[in-house]
Amino acid sequence: MKSPTRQAPSATSGVVIDKRRLLRDLNAISRIGIGDHGGVTRLVFSIKELRSRQLLIHLMRQAGLTIHIDRIGNIFGRLNGESGRGPAVLVGSHLDTVLHGGKFDGTMGVMAAVEVVRTLKENKVKLSSPVEVVSFVGEESSRFGYSTLGSSLVAGEVRGGDLNNAVDAQGTKLEDVLASMGIHRRNLRSLRRDPSTVKAYLELHIEQGPILEAKKKPIGVVTSIAAPTRFKLLLTGQADHSGTTPMEMRKDALVAASEVIVAVEAICRRYSRMEKGRVVGTVGAMKIEPGVINAIPGRAELSIDIRSITAASKKRAVRLVQRRIHDIARRREIRADILPIREEDPVPLDTRLVHLLQECCETRSIPYEVMPSGAGHDAMQMAKIAPAAMLFIPSRRGISHSPLEWSDPEDICRGTQLLLDVIVRIANEKI
Ligand code: GLV
Ligand code: MN
Ligand code: MN
């Protein structure tokens, strides 16, 4: 996409982030949960994830921010503006990771936000509005299948029905974890933040895709976020003896699952081009029972994630996939149960902020790409209660959710400096 020509750019704030300090702290937090192959595992509510939160609290305290932690564990570190009151500019991301993920997804955005705010404080930059660093709990769906948990609670977007099928691999129910923190179906909206207290939400994130690198652009200005439809599929056939059951008499749940997996790929490929809605579909996890060499699989449980940048193309792909599932099950005489996890529509980001971000890039003569996001982010929940915007920096070879995830320090620092410019403008301007 081509960036529109804009008017004369305004000046930058003039203050400069401390690159060494930013990279040092990003490295330090990335060591929490690091594994043998350089991958980072900080699943939500795990000991490692809690330790990363402790380090963040320590950094916020050192920076002299006023800390508030809500009941789910979202952390807010506030720098008051001139009046100390009024709606705040929120800036942040998440610290939890996928299983064997990278160092940058989410974490880079939180650490960048800390660096921005401490730079503003040290330099006594005049701010009309308060600025709050935020770290949201459980953005990743890797543990419970449920994404953007903390920001969804802050936006008042978690519904009781969402919790029905949110269970981790050990059988722990998300609903029970929430109950242990005093969050129940009856008070799911009690963590909702009053929209009048949020002036805007900003998130700096790695792209997690190949576009910026391919186009040699150091910054992406995000216009919208693709949202997933997620469900579990339970296929129930008949477990039986692998030596005595003739092929034509089997009800093999795993063979049916294999057909489903291939169908998800084929259907989503049909609509994968940008002009067809950039549909993507993934079967990311599967459990088979009994799961031994000498028994026909009687049960298969699959997790299915289908996304698109348009609601209509996602709905069409989901409909086709589900129809195919029922065809396969009927033909193979097995039972198929579809258990919904979450259904969301793609989220447009705030147009005025998109323009402001473009202006800030132009002020610094930074080439940028205006683009949608294929990955989900906390910004898609925050957009429901406040004007929200996102900046991307390049991901090497577009790889993410992998130990190979990498972004150049230079890109991280450039993105953080740009984020500072943006925050100062939003804090001091009427938007
Ligand atoms: C978040 O990382 C996602 O799954 O999009
Ligand atoms: Mn992320
Ligand atoms: Mn992620």
* Distance (Å) from CA 374 to ligand 3 centroid: 11
* Distance (Å) from CA 106 to ligand 1 centroid: 10
Count of Cβ atoms closer than 10 Å to residue 369 Cβ: 22
The best mutation among 42, 94, 141 to test binding of ligand 1, ranked by most ligand atoms within 8 Å of the C-beta, falls on 141
* DSSP 8-state symbol, 424: H
Q: CA separation (Å) from 122 to 14, 63, 79, 184, 401?
A: 13, 9, 11, 41, 35
pTM of the model: 0.92
Q: 163: which 2 tokens?
A: 């919790």
Q: Closest Cα to residue 104, out of 163, 158, 38?
A: 38
Q: Closest Cα to residue 202, out of 13, 387, 415, 417?
A: 387
d(CA 329, CA 428): 59
The best mutation among 208, 280, 305 to test binding of ligand 1, ranked by most ligand atoms within 8 Å of the C-beta, falls on 208
d(CA 414, CA 59): 21
* Distance (Å) from CA 297 to ligand 1 centroid: 30
What ligand has the least distance to the C-alpha of 98? 3
The alpha carbon of residue 126 and the mean position of all alpha carbons in its chain are separated, in whole angstroms, by 32
**pLDDT tens digits, one per residue of 321-373:** 999 999 999 999 999 999 999 999 999 999 999 999 999 999 999 999 999 99
Nearest CA to ligand 1 atom 1: 376
For residue 390, the cross-strand partners are 203
Residue 431 has pLDDT above 90, yes or no: no
Q: 226: which 2 tokens?
A: 């693709």
Q: Which residues contact 327 (CB under 8 A, 6 or more apart)?
A: none
The best mutation among 230, 347, 401, 405 to test binding of ligand 1, ranked by most ligand atoms within 8 Å of the C-beta, falls on 401
Question: What's the pLDDT at 206?
Answer: 98
Question: Which numbered atom of ligand 1 lies nearest the CA of 376?
Answer: 5
Mean per-residue pLDDT over the chain, rounded:
95
**pLDDT tens digits, one per residue of 393-418:** 999 999 999 999 999 999 999 999 99
* Distance (Å) from CA 129 to ligand 3 centroid: 30
Q: What percentage of the chain exceeds 70 in pLDDT?
A: 97
Give the environment of ion ligand 3: residues with CB less than 5 A: 105
Q: Which stretch of DSSP H or E encloses residue 342?
A: strand 335-343
Q: How many residues does the chain have?
A: 431
Count of Cβ atoms closer than 10 Å to residue 284 Cβ: 14
What ligand has the least distance to the C-alpha of 107? 2
Question: What's the pLDDT at 10?
Answer: 58
- Ligand 1 is surrounded, with C-beta below 6 A, by 140-141, 147, 375-376
Residue 207: phi and psi, rounded to 5, are -65, -40
For residue 77, the cross-strand partners are 67, 133
- Report the pLDDT averaged over residues 36-63: 96
* Distance (Å) from CA 140 to ligand 1 centroid: 6
What ligand has the least distance to the C-alpha of 101? 3
**pLDDT tens digits, one per residue of 237-292:** 999 999 999 999 999 999 999 999 999 999 999 999 989 989 999 999 999 999 99
* Distance (Å) from CA 95 to ligand 2 centroid: 8
For residue 385, the cross-strand partners are none
**pLDDT tens digits, one per residue of 63-112:** 999 999 999 999 999 999 887 789 999 999 999 999 999 999 999 999 99
Question: Which numbered atom of ligand 1 lies nearest the CA of 106?
Answer: 2
